[in-house]
Structure 1
Amino acid sequence: MSKKVEVLPDQGALITRALELILSKMETAIQERGQFTIALSGGSTPKPLYEAISTQKLPWDKIHVFWGDERYVPPDHPDSNQLMARRAWLDRVDIPTGNIHAIPTNQNDPAAGAAEYERHLQEFFHSSPGELPSLDVILLGMGDDAHTASLFPHTEALKVTDKLITVGNKDGNPRITFTYPFINSARCVIFIVAGANKKPALAQIFAPVADEFTYPSRLIQPQGELWWLLDAAAGSDLK
């Protein structure tokens, strides 16, 4: 694993750097493999990034978009990660419908939705059960409790190591999420973290020793590159 930490002066600079990095990874992936696969994160921080991507002239037919996690709500629900990304980016560009790989949340059973998304990923990547395909880029945020995707402290999802997708849990509300081994199979993982409220969690993430089940973002140790892009409010205390 190659780990890089950058502290940017403000959120604007954070988004500019994230865009630069994603476009660079995209160019390499399309040159080498003919397509670019990216998993998006939810939350408020990446929204301006998605808006920035939507203004670029890109080979949309070669870009495939996935989600690292999703709240178990209908796709048109205000809390939907998919809805946010569609409004900020995907509905604004000429990307083929088949290149948008949304997490299914239209059943009454989150476990069935998780299994369906896992099958879809296996078909897309031509991978066998038990195999971990590699996305080009996985974007992650981090909560002030050190969760990432829908991998929350001391939840069952943190123990799932034999699947790509599992059911996460936030205060009794189910979510569908990538498992940490699947995240770790990525070619590049980019954390985008902003705000002074993240400082205590970051101190534990970067500490030499801390409990991974209390601070789940510590579990993210990808085989490829790991980038931590932080604004100054979040990252100013890091050595």
Structure 2
Amino acid sequence: MNKHIEVLTDTDSLIARAQELILKKLEAAIQMRGRFTMALAGGSTPKPLYESLAAGNLPWDKIHVFWGDERYVPPDHPDSNERMARLAWLDRVDIPATNIHPIPTGEGNPAVSALKYEQHLQQFFQAAPGVFPALDVILLGMGDDGHTASLFPHTDALKVRDRLITVGNKDGQPRITFTYPFINAARCVMFLVAGANKRMALGQVFAESSDSEQYPSRLIQPHGELWWLLDAAAGSELEQK
């Protein structure tokens, strides 16, 4: 694993750095493989990144967008990660509809939806069952409880090691989420973390020994690159490594 931790002065600098890295990964992926695959995060932190990407003149026909997790709500629901990304980015550019790969939430059964998305991913990447395909970039956030995607502390989703997609649980509300082994198969995982309320959890995530069940972001140890991009409020107490 190739790990990088950068503490940026503010959220604007964090977003600019994330965009710079993503565009480099995009260019390299298209040059090597003819396409760029990226999984999006929800939450407020990446929204300005999506707005910034929307303003770029990018090869949209070669970009494929997925989601690392989703609340089990319709895609037009205010809490939908898909809705946020469409409004901030995808509806504002000429990306082919077939290049957008949202998590299905209309089956009425989260386990069925998780299986459906897993099968879609296997078909897209032409991956046999049991094989974890590698996305070019997976964007992640981190909650002040140390969760990432919809991998929450002490939940069953943390135990799933043989699937790409599983059902997460947040206070009794189901979520659909990438599993941590699938995240770890990525060529590049990029955490975007902002805010002083994240400091305590970051300290535990970066500690030499701590409980991964309590701080699930510790489970993210990708085979490729791992980037932690932190604003000063979140990362001021961490040594840059």
TM bucket, shorter chain: over 0.9
Structure 2: how far apart are the matches of 1:214 and 1:153? Answer: 5
Letter in 2 for 1:93: V
Alignment of 1:155-170 (within 5 A): 155-170=155-170
- Report the counterpart of residue 13 of structure 1 in structure 2: 13
Q: What whole-Å deviation, never above 9, does each CA across 1:112-150 have from its counterpart, x for those lacking one? A: 000000000000000000000000000000000000000
The secondary structure found in structure 2 opposite 1:143 is coil
Aligned equivalents of 1:20, 1:180: Cα separation in 2: 25
The equivalent residue for 2:216 is 216
Aligned residues: 239
Q: Give structure 1 stretches of 5+ with no counterpart.
A: none
2:127 aligns with 127
**CA distance in structure 2 between the partners assigned to 1:36 and 1:107 by the alignment:** 29
| SS of alignment partner, residue 153 of structure 1 | coil
Equivalent residue, structure 1, for 2:136: 136
For residues 204 and 211 of structure 2, the distance between their equivalents in structure 1, rounded to whole angstroms, comes to: 9
TM-score, L = length of structure 2:
0.99
CA distance in 1, matches of 2:14, 2:126: 35
Q: Give the equivalent residue in structure 1 for 2:4.
A: 4
Q: Answer yes or no: is 1:202 the counterpart of 2:181.
A: no
Aligned residue number for residue 238 of structure 1: 238
Per the alignment, residue 69 of structure 2 pairs with 69
CA distance in 1, matches of 2:226, 2:15: 17
Task: Say yes or no: does 1:101 pair with 2:98.
Answer: no
Identify the residue that residue 226 of structure 2 maps to in structure 1.
226
- SS for the counterpart of 2:122 is helix
- Look up the match of 2:34: 34
- Determine helix, strand or coil for the equivalent of 2:84: helix
Q: Deviations over 1:77-121 (max 9, x none)?
A: 000000000000000000000000000001110000000000000
User: What is the match of residue 153 of structure 1?
Assistant: 153
Does residue 23 (structure 1) correspond to residue 23 (structure 2)? The answer is: yes
What's the secondary structure of 2:28's corresponding residue?
helix
Tell me which residue corresponds to 1:45: 45
Q: Secondary structure at the match of 1:161?
A: coil
Q: 2 CA distance for matches of 1:110 and 1:53?
A: 31
Q: Which residue of 1 aligns with 2:91?
A: 91
Q: For the residues of structure 1 that align with 2:64 and 2:97, how far apart are their CA atoms?
A: 10
Instruction: Give SS of 2:161's match.
Output: coil
CA offset at residue 203 of structure 1? 0.3
SS of structure 2 residue aligned to 1:64: strand
Unaligned runs of 5+ in 2: none
CA distance in structure 2 between the aligned counterparts of 1:7 and 1:18, rounded to whole angstroms = 12
In 2: Cα distance, 1:84 partner to 1:197 partner: 23
**1:29 deviation in Å?**
0.1
User: Which residue is 2:179 aligned to?
Assistant: 179
**3-state DSSP class of the match of 1:42?**
coil
Identity of aligned residues (%): 73
Separation in 1, partners of 2:67, 2:174: 16
Looking at structure 2, the residues matched to 209 and 143 of structure 1 have their Cα atoms a distance apart, in angstroms, of 19
Distance of 1:103 and 1:60 partners within structure 2: 20
